[in-house]
Amino acid sequence: MSDKADAAGSSDHTSRRTFTGGLLASGVAGGWLGAVGDAVALPQRARIESLDDVLNIAHLDQAASRRLSAEAYHFIVGASDDGLTKQANRLAYQQTKIRPRRLVDVSTIDTSVELFGRLYASPIILAPAGNQQLVHAEGELATARAAARKDHLMVVGQMSNFSIEEVAATGVASWFQLYPSANREFMLHLAARAQAAGCGALVLTIDGPSRGNHEAARWFRSHPVKGQAKATGAPGKLGNFEDFAGPKGIGDPALDWEAVAALRKQLELPLVLKGIVTREDARLCRKHGVDGVVVSNHGGRQEGNGRATLDVLPEVVDELGGRMPVLVDGGIRRGSDVFKALAYGADAVCIGRPYLWGLGAFGQPGVEKCLRILSAEFERTLRYAGTPSLADISPQHVWRD
Ligand SMILES: Cc1cc2nc3c(=O)[nH]c(=O)nc-3n(C[C@H](O)[C@H](O)[C@H](O)COP(=O)(O)O)c2cc1C
């Protein structure tokens, strides 16, 4: 709570003059002030020179855009086609308002959540993201150390540069994300490794029967920027692919519900499907023995014309809520967004780009800062809304036109 983000929060009612004065005095404002808008807009335009300047997730984005090569930055922010799905994810949060209740005792806040019999301190989970050495040499190890330090669950991606065993050695609480492979033996082999490493669940990502159309990435491949191709110079191995002798192909466009049910029977860990975006598929999850879902459109990186995940959430919760954990991701940039997702019935949320911006710009401390900011904002929202614990949050706490 000693964080600068909290200091910014507590200055909500400070006059514009005092606030800009404070920034100028702290040396942040070096010639960029120009025409100053209102007190809220001002910090959004601040030029972020150091981690201490970072007040919100948008600042981490800005810092990453300045510090990373254009190619590495676009690896994080890229989306399919015209980015409409990614945009929709954000818009839904912006259009959702909170209905706070007054005179509730919020002197004690409890953000803990139970998933598959384990208690986690926070409902904010780090979403799987592969190839993190593209943005920082310490890649997933830095992310895991930050998550462990701040007590957040991390979903380790199959495509991570460091292996599941290397990540688990940091002490982070983890789940493991798998992609379908036509070679089921490879999937089972990875599932066994994840279980041996102490992962609490397997997350099968099923939203990619084809590759997302990332035109910016294709552009960079054919127009390499001299001296910028490699962001970090790190070797970028794929740690989870190294000890299996058979075919290790990723993607299986033939995967269907029967195959998922058959896979489920061979697994000991709970199986979570990532990428469910309709009521119909939610129903099929129940029918085929799935243990949990992530309502996700991959942050808009696969289909280019998807609905916002926040808009999808109610119909999935209607089918599955209370029967199995329902998580959601895509577009969460503020603690108040976490609150909105939980109010629509999610048990927990995952974040992707926010922590990758932190990682790319500042390494492990950047990821820690991201988690600290979102947690502080979330706790503040719980107080304002009159909901001291997650169980107190209900659909009555949000409003949409
Ligand atoms: C750079 C990057 C790499 C990603 N890699 C994976 C991956 O390997 N597996 C996966 O299931 N999802 C992957 N995702 C999707 C995230 O898990 C998550 O669904 C998405 O980032 C959530 O949206 P947000 O970035 O708006 O928070 C990736 C996302 C990003 C930004």
Ordered by start, the domain boundaries in the chain are: 1-47, 88-400
Question: Looking at 111-120, 220-229, 265-274, 300-309, which range is the least confident one?
Answer: 220-229
Cα–Cα distance list, 173 to 148, 252, 331, 349, 366 (Å): 7, 29, 23, 15, 19
Catalytic residue among 59, 189, 288, 298: 298
Confidence band (pLDDT; 50, 70, 90) for 34? Answer: very low
φ/ψ of 4, rounded to 5, equals: -65, -30
If one residue of 181, 301, 310 were mutated to test the ligand 1 pocket, choosing by the most ligand atoms within 8 A of its CB, it would be 301
pLDDT of res. 308: 98
Residue 135 vs residues 75, 125, 264, 343, 360: alpha-carbon distances, Å: 8, 20, 34, 33, 5
Pocket probe mutation, ligand 1, options 250, 272, 298, max atoms within 8 Å of Cβ: 298
Model confidence, pTM: 0.91
Report which protein residue has its CA nearest ligand 1's atom 15. 298
Nearest CA to ligand 1 atom 14: 129
In terms of DSSP H, where are the helices of 271-334?
279-287, 309-320
What region, left, alpha or beta, does residue 151 occupy, with left being phi > 0 and alpha being psi -120 to 50 degrees? left
Query: Residue 132 to residues 146, 162, 231, 373: CA-CA distances in angstroms?
Result: 14, 9, 10, 21
| Fold of the domain built from segment(s) 88-400 | TIM Barrel (3.20.20)
User: Distance, CA 304 to ligand 1 centroid (Å)?
Assistant: 15
Q: Is the dihedral of CA 381, 383, 385, 388 positive or negative?
A: positive
Distance of CA 400 from the midpoint of ligand 1 (Å): 27
Within 151-198, where are the H helices?
A: 164-168, 184-196
pLDDT for 397 beyond 50: yes
Indicate the burial class of 336 (C-beta count within 10 angstroms; 0-12, 13-18, 19 or more). Answer: buried
pLDDT band at 234 (very low <50, low <70, confident <90, very high): confident
| pLDDT tens digit sequence for 138-196 | 999 999 999 999 999 999 999 999 999 999 999 999 999 999 999 999 999 999 999 99
Who contacts 282 (Cβ-Cβ below 8 Å, separation ≥6)? 276, 293, 315, 316, 319, 320
To the query of whether residue 298 is one of the catalytic residues in this protein, the response is yes
Token output for 57: 């997730």
One-character DSSP codes across 325-370: -EEEESS--SHHHHHHHHHTT-SEEEESHHHHHHHHHHSHHHHHHH
Q: Give the integer Cα–Cα distance in Å for 247 and 84.
A: 35
Phi and psi of 95, rounded to 5°?
Answer: -85, -5
Q: Tell me which residues have their CB closer than 6 angstroms to ligand 1.
A: 75-76, 89, 127-130, 157, 159, 177, 205, 274, 296, 298-299, 301, 329-332, 351-353, 356
Say whether pLDDT at 13 is over 80.
Answer: no
Angstrom distance (rounded) from CA 29 to CA 24 = 5
Which amino acid belongs to residue 198? G
Other beta carbons within 10 angstroms of residue 31's beta carbon come to 6
Q: Does the pLDDT value for residue 22 go beyond 80?
A: no
Please, are residues 400 and 97 in contact by the beta-carbon 8 Å criterion? yes
5 in Cβ contact with 12 (< 8 Å)? no
Residue 30 Cα to ligand 1 midpoint, Å, equals 35
pLDDT at 135: 96
Looking at the predicted structure, is the pLDDT value of residue 96 above 60? Answer: yes
pLDDT band at 39 (very low <50, low <70, confident <90, very high): low
What is the 27 CA–ligand 1 centroid distance (Å)? 35
Least trusted range by pLDDT, from 21-25, 122-126, 275-279, 350-354: 21-25
Both tokens assigned to 52: 């201490």
Residue 55 near residue 4, CB atoms below 8 Å: yes
Q: How far is the CA of 353 from the centre of ligand 1 (A)?
A: 7
